[in-house]
Structure 1
Amino acid sequence: MATEDGASADVVSAVVEAPRDEKVKQTLPRVNSIPVVTRADGAEYLEIKDLRGILQPQDSPFVDTNNAGAGFVGDKDLVRISIMNYESDQSSGSHRDFGPQQAAALYDPAKNQTIELPDFALRSGPRRTIYHNPKDVCAAIVTCGGLCPGLNDVVQNIVFSLDDYGVPEDQIFGIRYGLRGFLDRHAKPVQLSRSKVDGIQLKGGTVLGTSRGNAKMPAIVERLRLWGINQLYVIGGNGGNAAAHAIAKECAAQGVVCNVVGVPKSIDNDIQLIDRCFGFDTAVEEAQRSLISARVEARSSGGISVVKLMGRQSGFIAMNASMASGVVDACLIPEIRLNLDKLCDFVKAIMERKDYCVVCVAEGAGQDIMDTNGPKGTDASGNPILQDIGVFLRDVFRKRFPGVDVKYIDPSYMIRSIPTITTDRIYCKVLGQGAVHGAFAGYTDFTVGLVNTHYVFLPTTTIIQFARVVDERGRQWNRLKTAINQPDLA
């Protein structure tokens, strides 16, 4: 069996090869209508929609070389979504599942409930049979939402992969400034080619530009029809992938034949199911620099440094940067309610012990303790506009600890506007390649990501149900609290 990147390898426990005599697929009812397919051997996996019934199957252009000698991914190779097998419902993490033996589930933090998933997902990678003649492909790439390290890397590798398949370079386009670029007369699509995207991975941001906010899906699909686009790649977060799903549905409604592929990105690392979002490692690496600088400031003056990091609903950046830096005394995240008196008592104890203190806080933490009037409206993406917890804590500490030097550091957008580090750069390459492999395999309304250390195709609906959050009973949060001796601050 070929590995995800095409290399030959023995079958590993997380990957299952499908028999060729698969039953006719049947969809099983699940919570929130998550589609599931049952294989001939009884294995259940997440169903990916496809356009194979109206596309023409043909051999991959890589067949002659057997994919450079590496072989192909089987059309029903499966990846196990979770390999956890809990001893009991008291084991860390098991409270989010249906029992000690069931670990494949989505957790809804708003309702404090889980949504059952099948055991497997389709494996990503190149197929022997493709469903587009490369010469007839007209592809468009769009980046949506906030910036994230790696956007240019993904764009570049989608273009490279399309070129590898043989798509003519004058049939690959970049949509300017997000989804509004489909309708804005002043933001015409740009032609992309291997030479034009050469080196863009060395830059932060996105060369295509981006924007937030909803767009008119019927009008966007009409543009796809007029421009002859039959492969659309949407690089975005929960909102961007929700838009991709809406576009795929509208394409079906209008009879427009277009494979719609999502590549999930989130600086907050809050996308469901996937191991991590691209750009997250880079953001954490940059964020910890601010924490280390904050320690220098606090220690030099015998004061308190407050560092606010990104994390609207999920505290993954704050948690990971705090753990990585090793200099944080208190970490505050949106998932854990905050008692101001307990926090101040803890900071006081730290100051008495070592004369300085570093507090790391995610931007979404403590919103309920600042103002009883609730959120201050929403932004263009529908996210609640947050109050500044960093400034609030700075002022509280200055009042509670008179004479103590309190500094506030907000690296804010600096951590998301930089080029990727090595791990993210490699990750983006495989994601871009996987997106193109999936489109040529005829799949639509899906996204590609790393699940249980293997690359998979996921139905877009599974990752847009709700944001992933830090598990307050999970091992990762517990490791940090233990490392810094942080008590319960709720």
Structure 2
Amino acid sequence: MRIGLITGGGDCPGLNAAIRAVVKHGHGTYGHSIIGFRNGWKGVIEGDVQPLTREHIRNVLPVGGTMLGTARMHPHRVDGGLDAVRATLEAERVDALVVIGGDGTLDAASKVAETGINVIGIPKTIDNDVVRTDTAIGFETAVQVATEAVDRIHTTAESHNRVMVVEVMGRSTGWIAVNAAIAGGAELVLAPEAPFDMDRVERFLRHRHRAHASFSIIVVAEGAVPAAGSSMDYTTELGQFGEIVSGAVSSAVAHEIAERTGFDTRVTVLGHVQRGGTPLPADRILGSRFGVAAVEALQAGRSDVMTALHGESVDLVPISEIAGQVKQVPEELLRVAGALA
């Protein structure tokens, strides 16, 4: 079997572990040949190919990012994109495609599978918002980075009697924000799942600084918004390509706090630092497990399915069932974060 492999969407730690596992298991166990397409679906459309052998994957396990490169392009949204994908796969004699990506990339994978191409998906996203899997490649490392930042910010906040607003990634969900807030001991977390009331935030901070401490840490997901009818006037700022403008909501929140309370308030935006660096063992292991499971799925003749972690097991779920859905932070976890304020 000749297997094609791509990574799409945003990069994250653990991608190279998945690539390595597909190559080692596919080639070493079954004798399959593996090729990679550079820069996600863009590389498939353009026929930008590189071989993947044991030599190419040597020492990549601890390396962040993706050795194949990535791009945010979806073939079903490009004129002639699906036809170009099929033409490239036919020209390269590819029997099946392993697609590593988030919800957008996997949605595209499902559209490609509908054209008759054998596709196996592997979920990766630091946002942890892909449904039907407990977690995805990259999330654990991103939470570690965010938690370490909160830990470090605590010392300067306490030293200077400041309110520190820490913005983390999370356009539609607050998985990183909530987990980092709990693990880092932040006083408040603002997540997209629970629109916030700035009046309540103000009251909380005034009470805390009067009765308990002279500093506070607030972790804010980039997609957090005020509740309807809130006294804070804010509309999510979007960039040229529809992305949320980094630092917009945290700056607005910090401005409101400073204006209302007079407390010295500062902002730290973690941004893309959450995506980079060495993957934790958890992401290396998960990427490796998903890569092996993807090869096994192809060997069993499966297609249009995604590897998924359920408890201690890696299972297969239909890709079509995850398209257009978002896995939100459960109410129980939000309550835990609130209870520890």
TM-score by length of 1: 0.65
After superposition, what is the alpha-carbon deviation per residue over 1:127-160, rounded to whole angstroms, capped at 9, x for unaligned?
xxxxxxxxxx111110000111111111111111
2:56 corresponds to 1:196? yes
2:7 corresponds to 1:148? no
Question: Does the aligned pair in 2 maintain the 1:294–1:306 contact within 8 Å?
Answer: no
Which has more helix, going by share of residues? Answer: 2
Once the two structures are TM-superposed, the CA of residue 398 in structure 1 deviates from its matched residue by 2.3
Unaligned runs of 5+ in 2: 76-80
Distance across 2 between alignment mates of 1:456 and 1:172: 23
2:259 corresponds to 1:399? yes
Once the two structures are TM-superposed, the CA of residue 372 in structure 1 deviates from its matched residue by 6.3
2:320 corresponds to 1:458? no
2:106 corresponds to 1:241? yes
Once the two structures are TM-superposed, the CA of residue 315 in structure 1 deviates from its matched residue by 0.6
Question: Does the aligned pair in 2 maintain the 1:265–1:277 contact within 8 Å?
Answer: yes
> Paired residue for 1:428, among 264, 287, 291?
287
Specify the alignment match of 1:277 in structure 2.
136
Distance across 2 between alignment mates of 1:413 and 1:296: 23
Once the two structures are TM-superposed, the CA of residue 371 in structure 1 deviates from its matched residue by 5.5
Question: Does the aligned pair in 1 maintain the 2:128–2:136 contact within 8 Å?
Answer: yes
Specify the alignment match of 2:182 in structure 1.
323
Distance across 1 between alignment mates of 2:103 and 2:249: 24
Question: Does the aligned pair in 2 maintain the 1:306–1:360 contact within 8 Å?
Answer: yes
Distance across 2 between alignment mates of 1:385 and 1:357: 24
Runs of 4+ in 1 over 3 A off after TM superposition: 367-378, 382-387
2:282 corresponds to 1:418? no
Specify the alignment match of 1:479 in structure 2.
336
2:77 corresponds to 1:212? no
Q: 1:198 to 1:205 in 2, by over 3 A?
A: same
Higher relative contact order (CA 8 A, sep 6+): 2
Distance across 1 between alignment mates of 2:305 and 2:69: 23
Once the two structures are TM-superposed, the CA of residue 374 in structure 1 deviates from its matched residue by 6.3
Residue pairs, 1:238-387, within 5 angstroms? 238-250=103-115, 252=116, 258-326=117-185, 328-352=186-210, 353-366=212-225, 376=238, 379=241
Paired residue total: 332
Unaligned runs of 5+ in 1: 1-136, 253-257, 485-490
After superposition, what is the alpha-carbon deviation per residue over 1:248-285, rounded to whole angstroms, capped at 9, x for unaligned?
112x2xxxxx4211001111111112111122111111
> Paired residue for 1:231, among 96, 100, 103?
96
Q: 1:342 to 1:310 in 2, by over 3 A?
A: same
The DSSP-based 3-state class of the residue aligned with 1:206 is: coil
Once the two structures are TM-superposed, the CA of residue 376 in structure 1 deviates from its matched residue by 3.6
2:301 corresponds to 1:442? yes
Distance across 2 between alignment mates of 1:430 and 1:277: 11
Distance across 1 between alignment mates of 2:175 and 2:307: 21
The DSSP-based 3-state class of the residue aligned with 2:208 is: helix
After superposition, what is the alpha-carbon deviation per residue over 1:25-76, rounded to whole angstroms, capped at 9, x for unaligned?
xxxxxxxxxxxxxxxxxxxxxxxxxxxxxxxxxxxxxxxxxxxxxxxxxxxx
Once the two structures are TM-superposed, the CA of residue 373 in structure 1 deviates from its matched residue by 6.1
> Paired residue for 2:45, among 172, 183, 208?
183
Question: What letter matches 1:245 in structure 2?
Answer: S
Distance across 2 between alignment mates of 1:300 and 1:384: 32
After superposition, what is the alpha-carbon deviation per residue over 1:227-255, rounded to whole angstroms, capped at 9, x for unaligned?
110021100000111111011112x2xxx
Which of the pair has more CA radius of gyration? Answer: 1
Question: What letter matches 1:271 in structure 2?
Answer: V
The DSSP-based 3-state class of the residue aligned with 2:202 is: helix
Q: 1:295 to 1:347 in 2, by over 3 A?
A: same
Distance across 2 between alignment mates of 1:211 and 1:401: 43
After superposition, what is the alpha-carbon deviation per residue over 1:348-372, rounded to whole angstroms, capped at 9, x for unaligned?
1122221111111111001676656
Question: Does the aligned pair in 2 maintain the 1:361–1:390 contact within 8 Å?
Answer: yes
Question: Does the aligned pair in 2 maintain the 1:291–1:325 contact within 8 Å?
Answer: yes
Question: Does the aligned pair in 2 maintain the 1:274–1:449 contact within 8 Å?
Answer: yes
After superposition, what is the alpha-carbon deviation per residue over 1:171-214, rounded to whole angstroms, capped at 9, x for unaligned?
321111111112336xx211111121111122111111101032
Question: Does the aligned pair in 1 maintain the 2:187–2:340 contact within 8 Å?
Answer: no
Question: What letter matches 1:423 in structure 2?
Answer: A
Specify the alignment match of 1:10 in structure 2.
none
2:35 corresponds to 1:173? yes
Question: What letter matches 1:244 in structure 2?
Answer: A
The DSSP-based 3-state class of the residue aligned with 2:314 is: strand
Question: What letter matches 1:365 in structure 2?
Answer: A
